Amino acid sequence: MIYKERDQINPEEYIIATYKGLDKKGAWDTAIGQSVGNPEYRSKWETEELFRDHSCLILEDGQIAFPLINIDLRTDGISHLLVMLMGGQLDIRGIDHCQLVKLEFPEQAKACFRGPKHGIKGIRNYTKCQDRPLLGGIIKPKTGVSPSVMLDMVKEMVDGGVNFIKEDEILSDPSFCRIKDRVPMIMDYLHDKDVIYSVSIHADPPYLLDRVKLVNQLGGNSVHVNFWCGLGSYKAIRELDLDMFVHFQKSGDKIFTNPNHNFSIAWPVVCQLIGMMGVDFAHAGMIGGYYKWDEQETYDAIETLRTHGVMPALSCGFNDEITAEVTEKVGIDYMANVGGFMHSYPGGTRAGAKAMRKSIDNLI
């Protein structure tokens, strides 16, 4: 039987997933279909021993234990894990809703992930910013600027007091602003400054990892990777073990984390996975601004990221009028990532950065 009480299993042998939306039949279809076979049919190849060792177990309605033996997490990684967790059951008649809301890993599974290279502590040490939120600036316009214009923009943001600068996710390696051209120019300016500069490198494999290595060779100290590059890409980047900061960008994630969809993965679960894989910064969402999603989801994401040592970045309309309120709600371990407000401020980018920095310094 695949029905077990939780105290009847060895928790070190299973990854336990909790789902919303699965009834008893849906749990059966998921447990069988995402491990040993077709939910409806049995065959002579499905021996008692095979079922015992490789079948998922149903612990209670919506809670399913996936045998660790079915995956090599070191090499199969997050990619294959998600194939098992959110795969064929989404196509089965009768399963109309399925949201993955919680994951529990045994210690031997956690050991397959490195976690952040630097994390919150390393970020604060590098930027020499210990007692307040970090100030991040985002390159705007998102694309279309030359390396020389980008350098001028960086200078104004640094003069204004930013700790971190992120190229927007819309920029990658276009002909008019090549990574090989802009990174040396900008890092030469930043070489004696305590500022992290995150280079947008979005690409398909293997080009993505080639770009990580390139940025490192050019003296860069951070890469910015959007989730569309694949969740497993963060594990691969971290395992290069380069002395760089990794920034996770969530823009577009609601295609699979929207809780209003019939099928989704809860955003805090994604934050758990990227924390295990080893990002240093992650766009957690926003409190206020023009962010439209439930604030509680952002609070949960912030808590999850901090548990893994990841610095939460808050972005989507951050401005100097909400700094104190946001900090009161979430504490100082976050980064205010600011784009539009900073660059459109009266007096320009430098003045906008100074206004944001003043709102942060006033917290002390």
CA distances from residue 305 to 104, 168, 248, 302, 309 in whole angstroms, order as listed: 15, 22, 11, 5, 6
**For residue 69, is it within any domain?**
yes
pLDDT of residue 171: 97
Asked if the model's pLDDT at residue 110 lies above 80, the reply is yes
CATH number reported for the structural domain that contains residue 30 in this entry: 3.30.70.150
- Answer for the pair 281, 291: CB distance below 8 angstroms, yes or no: no
DSSP letter assigned to residue 358: H
| 42 or 70, which is more confident | 70
Nearest to 164, CA basis, from 204, 133, 208: 133
Check whether residue 80 and residue 134 sit in a common domain: no
The pLDDT mean for the chain works out to 96
pLDDT of residue 60: 86
Q: Provide the pLDDT confidence category of residue 61 given band limits of 50, 70 and 90.
A: confident
Q: What distance in Å separates the CA atoms of residue 213 and residue 223, rounded to the nearest whole number?
A: 10
Nearest to 13, CA basis, from 74, 54, 68: 68
pLDDT of residue 1: 65
Q: Which domain holds residue 88?
A: 6-110
Check whether residue 31 and residue 88 sit in a common domain: yes
Check whether residue 167 and residue 235 sit in a common domain: yes
Check whether residue 279 and residue 300 sit in a common domain: yes
| Preceding peptide of 268 cis, ω within 30° | no
- Number of domains present in the structure of the chain: 2
- Answer for the pair 345, 351: CB distance below 8 angstroms, yes or no: yes
**For residue 142, is it within any domain?**
yes
Check whether residue 61 and residue 131 sit in a common domain: no
Check whether residue 173 and residue 237 sit in a common domain: yes
Coil, strand or helix at 144 = coil
Q: Provide the 10 A C-beta neighbour count for residue 197.
A: 28
pLDDT of residue 40: 85
Asked if the model's pLDDT at residue 188 lies above 90, the reply is yes
DSSP per-residue codes, 307-357: HTT-EEEE-SS--TTSHHHHHHHH-SSSEEEESHHHHHSTT-HHHHHHHHH
Check whether residue 137 and residue 105 sit in a common domain: no
Sign of CA dihedral 300, 122, 333, 142: negative
**For residue 21, is it within any domain?**
yes
Asked if the model's pLDDT at residue 164 lies above 70, the reply is yes
Residue that is last in its domain, among 59, 86, 110: 110
224 dihedral zone (left: phi>0; alpha: psi -120 to 50; beta): beta
| Preceding peptide of 312 cis, ω within 30° | no
Check whether residue 349 and residue 332 sit in a common domain: yes
| 144 or 60, which is more confident | 144
Which pLDDT tens digit goes with each residue over 212-255? 999 999 999 999 999 999 999 999 999 999 999 999 999 999 99
Check whether residue 50 and residue 193 sit in a common domain: no
Check whether residue 234 and residue 332 sit in a common domain: yes
**For residue 1, is it within any domain?**
no
Nearest to 104, CA basis, from 38, 168, 12: 12
Q: What distance in Å separates the CA atoms of residue 98 and residue 278, rounded to the nearest whole number?
A: 27
Which pLDDT tens digit goes with each residue over 341-353? 999 999 999 999 9
**For residue 305, is it within any domain?**
yes
Q: What distance in Å separates the CA atoms of residue 218 and residue 185, rounded to the nearest whole number?
A: 10
pLDDT of residue 335: 98
Check whether residue 227 and residue 295 sit in a common domain: yes
CATH number reported for the structural domain that contains residue 221 in this entry: 3.20.20.110
Check whether residue 106 and residue 148 sit in a common domain: no
Q: What does the longest C-alpha to C-alpha distance in the chain come to? A: 76
Instruction: List the end-to-end C-alpha distance of the chain, in Å, as a whole number.
Output: 60
